[in-house]
Amino acid sequence: MSQIPITRDYAAAVGEWCERVENRSLLHEKLAFPKNWGDAVKENQASNWSLMRIASNGGKLLNQAAQRLENPGPNVFPEKADNMRAAAKVCSALANSRVGSGLEQTRVAHTNRFLALLRENYAAGGASSALRLVSARLEGRLALNLADGLIQNAGMSLDRIFGLPLIPGSAIKGVTRHTALEELKAANAAGETASLARKLETFARVFGTADNDYSPKNGELRDFAALLEKTNLPRDAKGKPVKDLKGAIVFIQATPTNTAQIVVDLTNVHYPDFYQGREPIAKTEKPIPNYFPAVERGAEFAFPLLFAPPATNTAADIGDTLLDAAERWLRLALEQRGIGAKTAAGYGWFTPKTKAETDAELEAARHAEEERKAAERARIEGEKRAAAEAAAREAEKKAAAEKRRAKENFDNLPPAGQLDAIADDNGRFRQFMEKKFPTLKPEEQADIVRWFASDAGAARWKEIKDYKEKSKKPWTSIFQQLHAAKKAAGLKLP
């Protein structure tokens, strides 16, 4: 049975069947399961399994396929039965993919943050004309970029970071431009000469144009070339209208504002031999289903439009006019044309929401972003407090350990060594002499006397000789013991 063509070290990181990869884009565009690899048995269902793996309910679909393949039935040839059981193991392995392990909600949160940032930067503080946002609900499945990807005619436009559906800005601009162009042509056919030059100018400023758009042979705007002189478009050094013009409206990619589901769809070719011209129509031909990924209906997308005029195109004071035109054309495109492939079969059609609904979504996104920031600040402050408390506990623990070790080391010293260690601490020195010295053995008391006779203890001996308390208890007894120890050891003190 075929394997996914990856290196051993890569397989060690992500799994033999890439089951530890969460990103649909990576699985679909780089790690698709091949029909055959090397000398492995060809598996015709490989592409279908790869598509199932990225579907929202892919694990369930693959487990169902594995169950069917595990029981070939009594009438299946042994070799084929063995291949089916091997294929069942592959399906089970692919079903263990971590796709859908929380990235959907992360994508939605990211979209809300992005929309909130757009509004904060382009729709606030007097810059209300810089942004338009169209929200729309998908009314049929969406098939986009089918020609891309490793699997033939089964590509999909996916976010490279989150691995979830997106609609590229180029696709949005393309269908909106086509809608606007058809409106322009319809106005020309209806003889609306009075407003035609103004509509052409708006079209050119919104989308931009190139010289070949006005080519007499096949330019899309060839019927409007004569109207350029009647427009207020920028002029060149000779005073002629500039044809090579950059658009003033930026069509930003559309991303889901809810958890868009990915499904596996199919087209069923009933008479492949007839369609390919090999045979006449025969009812005995078996249908050959072609699978492809699609976004399930019900997904909601946000379509941001941004006014960002180049210096050679547009004055800032007409931003609202251009944004209004672009928004109207976009709404018409979503409702009347659809986006992506198979729009004639009902795919890619949207219902745009009203401006009030869109504004409410923007406000909700702003509140969500504020709540997220507040929660993030609270989390960071909490982590700082927890870290500070943990550091304080660790410092206390370390200090206690150091104190314990110091005490252990002190207790392990002989009495003379202990006295030497605390000689500079007057309180501990007196406590030692008053409490511990009287309890020492004669030989230990002799060691204390030897310490007093040394250079280290000479200064202390001089001090205690002058104690006014030496005639009082307990020092009367202490001096008696010191002199007894000195005599016993045959020592002399200053």
pLDDT at 60: 86
Q: At what angle do helices 78-94 and 46-54 cross, to 10 degrees?
A: 20
On whether the CB atoms of residues 318 and 129 are closer than 8 A, the answer is no
Across the 494 residues of the chain, what is the mean pLDDT of every consecutive 10-residue run? 78 88 86 72 78 85 88 85 87 83 77 84 64 93 80 76 89 96 92 87 94 92 91 88 91 91 82 69 69 91 90 66 94 94 93 88 76 89 94 94 91 89 87 88 88 85 71 77 84 73
Instruction: Give me 342's structure tokens.
Output: 């198979």
Tell me how far apart the alpha carbons of residues 435 and 283 are, in angstroms, rounded to a whole number.
Answer: 114
Tell me how far apart the alpha carbons of residues 262 and 470 are, in angstroms, rounded to a whole number.
Answer: 95
On whether the CB atoms of residues 260 and 295 are closer than 8 A, the answer is yes
Instruction: Give me 481's structure tokens.
Output: 């013991």
Instruction: Give me 431's structure tokens.
Output: 């406590």
Q: Phi-psi category of 15—alpha, beta or left, where left has phi over 0 and alpha has psi -120 to 50?
A: left
On whether the CB atoms of residues 245 and 209 are closer than 8 A, the answer is yes
